[in-house]
Structure 1
Amino acid sequence: MPQPYDLIILGAGTTAFAAGRMVAARDKKVLLIDQSHVGGTCVNWGCVPSKTLIHKAEMYHAARKGEFWGLNLQAGKPDCTTLMQLKRTAVETLRDQHYKQELAQTPNMDIHYGRAYFVSKNEVATENGRFTAPDILIATGGQARVVPIPGLEAVKYLTYNSALHLPCFPKSLIILGGGVIALEMGQMFARFGTQVTILERGPKLLAEFDPRLTEQFRAMLEREGVKIFFNAETERIEQRADGVCLYARVAGAEIGITAERFMLAIGTTPATEGLGLEKIGVKTDAAGFIKVDNGLRTSVEGIWAAGDVTGNPMIAPAGAREAQIAAKNILHPDQEFTIDHRFSPMAVFVDPEFATVGLNREQAEQQGYEVVTTYLGLDRVPKAHVMGEELGGFLLNAEKGSGKVLGVQMLCPRAADIIHEATLAIRFGLSVVDLTTTVHVYPSISDGLRQAARDNAFVQGLL
């Protein structure tokens, strides 16, 4: 007989735990099913290991950069053994102290290890168990997207997962893609001494960010030795004894690029293979992501989905918030809770950092807003001169007339922390006047957001 639960969650990462702990706290029996480690992609293969190495690469780069400021530090060759152990320790510590410990201390929340599939809309099974519940939440996350490049089957290619498990840094690396993963990993490898070449299919890096920011970052990457090709159409790849050779067409001409390793960084696909979604009628989009409404319901009653498996925004905190919304709807079926990702910030952990929240100008105008946009270069922020870090800027979109803040983008040191001020402003309907009349610490990088708001208020005649 199948074991009964009140809620079954497929997955045991950030998204799964966010829903599980909320439902279990209401004296409901919750089962998490996962085929690997608790903590999911973010802890085990994504955010934690990558940001550990990215942070150390930033320190290594800063040591060498200090020579221009009279800090005559000597940066020797990176110690891969120590660095990789630091990465493993960070992963294991968070997995044990945050996730395993929470499981042990949370009544009513169990875990079962295995590869799950749907038997019916209320029953799932693995190779060693069967379980039933009136509600099932799919939180299986995503995995690296792989495209059928001629010759790829013979190449020992990397993804963000395998690239983070290399014993040391390759001498040279080709990265296909110009998005978040490509830039985070590319800059990290380059700063540890790898010769990095990035090929982007489109005309710019980070399509979701304003060119006034991305062009500055591109120029900085190229000064650091990263080669970047835009409008690149990959044609084929060959494995050679000493590495790989990628053939691509750039501006109508075929080029061949050789490197020790090749990495795919072209996005994420949903981890739904083998779940049997088609058997129970759960609808997906053309890319395979599960379709959900604003309450995280799928097309099948009692089946919910949250996190990367539903598509953008594919960031762990947004997935956790989606899971909480799903949990609240499960617990309170007589009420209606919805998600609004206008209030979900995201960051790119390069150096300096990108961050964004809210609507860009095009999105705001599509929603009927008349928009006033102001841009403030980081060189106008006194703290940037103190730090000797003047690359970057702040872009702010506000509603014309009311001055209500609609969206913010930034490229600056610690943008991932500063963006939360903008997030609160957008969530609670604050105006550019509210931001600019709020006293900020001086000198601080976050004062750049106040200055951008002040410029917007002046343009609109609100001050």
Structure 2
Amino acid sequence: MNTAYDFIILGSGTTAFAAARKASVLGARVLMVEQSKLGGTCVNWGCVPSKTLIHKAKEFYAAVRSAPFGINLRAEEPDYNLLMQAKTRAVEDLRREHYQKELDADPRIEVLRGHGRFLSPRELQVGAEVLVSDKFLIATGGVPRSLRLPGLVEVGYLNSYSALNLPAFPESLLIIGGGVVAVEMGQMFARFGTRVTIVERGERLLKEFDARLVDIFAGILEDEGVELIYNFEAQEVRREGELVCLHGRTREGEGDCCLRAERIMLAVGTAPADDDIGLEEAGVARDAAGFICVDEEMRTSAPGIWAAGDVTGPPLIAPSGAREGEVAAENMLNPDAHRRIDHRTTPMAVFVDPELAAVGLSGAQARAAGKSVVETFLPLDRVAKAHVMGGRRGGFVLCADQGSGRVLGVQVLAPRAADLIHEATLAVRFGLSVQDLAETVHVYPTIADGLHLAAVENIRQRG
């Protein structure tokens, strides 16, 4: 046994570092096994590089549309090389400041470079070395999911990683998928001048969100030049000269069709990053989608092995993985701790413009759980700050228990929604009522005042 360490972690991303950090605070020593770069997906290939470019696209678009507000800015063509340098700088700065410096300063946390693979529930091989321990945490994260679509590999497709490292913006781009990555990347590319088509096999985008908010946002995308195609069954991909052709058919009686673009991108979800890490040898069970099965304490089916983060499935967001890592670490170090994870109050956001954010239950989810609810939709044009900012398309959806008025869930489509959702998160987590929100003085004018107004409206609906 490697007695120098209290437990060993596979991975060094957000989840792994959160677990290591918690272990260090508790006086333990941990070893992280990493085959690639410190920081994992979020810092190196996901959140940080994509949000950097999304933010720059927002600034560029603001300059483009500034004339009606009396601001005489002339936006020239974006400089792709400078944009890529800004993205790389953000990634490297965060990896250095948030991970490498912390690692250098904490003698309780160490990293071993190499690919880790279980030989048994107690043995992990890394190169020529075999690490033996009675406690392991799997925190290897996720990777972009692919499709078995004829011709896709042959034509060469993009995913959320490779699309951020192109030599230039493509003239046209087909995106298969209608989830978070599809709309974030689609709007970003469109704002930089790419002709974007988003192809969704379902009836609408972003199924996690209220249809009223999604319909408003879909209209915004279309006004920005993004083509949205629903109910589309992709069948085959072929190359036609310099273009890629996506063959398929709609379920609306239009028959077979071919959609053409310079590049094609998959945005069809996340798969667990567990390739060749020896889960079978370790006795770790997976669900039908391939994610590692864990209980509320982040234990796997194998005694002595825990798992956390994207490798265990939804909600597939970095902060939730970090919390799971902390819960796992406490339980690994103290068998009597019985810390549990509860994602019912975990917020999430989509970094489009305007932003989408949500926490808690939707009205449909609450009713499906047998609750009697009052659901309020407040259009964004009821909020004074929206008029100040010149963007009035959006809204608030507030779901509250009919009897107690307790806030059960909130969804927002508005500027800065990803920031203001935290007030709603506290309301849901600590059982605040719409009366509590209505009686809380909010700064005026702010977008957050919309939550206050939605609470007032919810009370009015009750009669």
The aligned residue for residue 264 of structure 2 is 262
Q: Give the secondary-structure state (helix, strand or coil) at the position aligned to 2:161.
A: helix
The aligned residue for residue 334 of structure 2 is 332
**Deviations along 1:93-132, whole A, 9 cap, x unmatched?**
0001110111111121110111111011122112242212
Structure 1 runs not aligned, ≥5 long:
none
**Deviations along 1:117-172, whole A, 9 cap, x unmatched?**
10111221122422122211110000011011011120110000000111221110
Inter-partner Cα distance in structure 1 for 2:306 and 2:225: 46
The aligned residue for residue 298 of structure 1 is 300
Inter-partner Cα distance in structure 2 for 1:256 and 1:367: 43
- Aligned-pair CA distance for 1:3: 7.1
The aligned residue for residue 51 of structure 2 is 51
Inter-partner Cα distance in structure 1 for 2:155 and 2:102: 41
Residue identity opposite 1:283 in structure 2: A
The aligned residue for residue 135 of structure 1 is 135
- Aligned-pair CA distance for 1:367: 2.6
Matched ranges for 1:172-321 at <5 A: 172-250=172-250, 251-252=252-253, 253-321=255-323
- Aligned-pair CA distance for 1:2: 6.0
The aligned residue for residue 407 of structure 1 is 409
**Deviations along 1:328-376, whole A, 9 cap, x unmatched?**
1112211311111111100000000000000112222233321110000
**Deviations along 1:209-234, whole A, 9 cap, x unmatched?**
01100001111111111111001000
Residue identity opposite 2:321 in structure 1: G
Residue identity opposite 1:101 in structure 2: K
- Aligned-pair CA distance for 1:460: 2.0
The aligned residue for residue 148 of structure 2 is 148
Q: Give the secondary-structure state (helix, strand or coil) at the position aligned to 1:217.
A: helix
The aligned residue for residue 388 of structure 1 is 390
* TM-score, scaled to structure 1: 0.98
- Aligned-pair CA distance for 1:6: 1.2
C-alpha contact 2:309 2:325 (8 A) present in aligned 1: yes
Inter-partner Cα distance in structure 2 for 1:222 and 1:116: 46
Inter-partner Cα distance in structure 2 for 1:136 and 1:243: 48
Residue identity opposite 1:174 in structure 2: L
Matched, 1:88 2:56: no
* TM-score, scaled to structure 2: 0.98
Q: Give the secondary-structure state (helix, strand or coil) at the position aligned to 2:198.
A: strand
Inter-partner Cα distance in structure 1 for 2:133 and 2:35: 19
Matched ranges for 1:4-83 at <5 A: 5-83=5-83
C-alpha contact 2:31 2:112 (8 A) present in aligned 1: yes
C-alpha contact 2:2 2:133 (8 A) present in aligned 1: no
- Aligned-pair CA distance for 1:21: 1.1
**Deviations along 1:248-285, whole A, 9 cap, x unmatched?**
11123111111110000000000111011112211100
Q: Which moved more, 1:201-210 or 1:66-75?
A: 66-75
C-alpha contact 1:401 1:460 (8 A) present in aligned 2: no
Alignment RMSD (CA, Å): 1.1
**Deviations along 1:272-324, whole A, 9 cap, x unmatched?**
11011112211100110001111111111111111000110000000000111
Inter-partner Cα distance in structure 2 for 1:272 and 1:31: 19
Structure 2 runs not aligned, ≥5 long:
none
- Aligned-pair CA distance for 1:414: 0.4
- Aligned-pair CA distance for 1:4: 5.1
Q: 2:442 aligns with which of 440, 443, 461?
A: 440
Inter-partner Cα distance in structure 1 for 2:165 and 2:121: 37
Q: Give the secondary-structure state (helix, strand or coil) at the position aligned to 2:65.
A: helix
Residue identity opposite 1:26 in structure 2: L
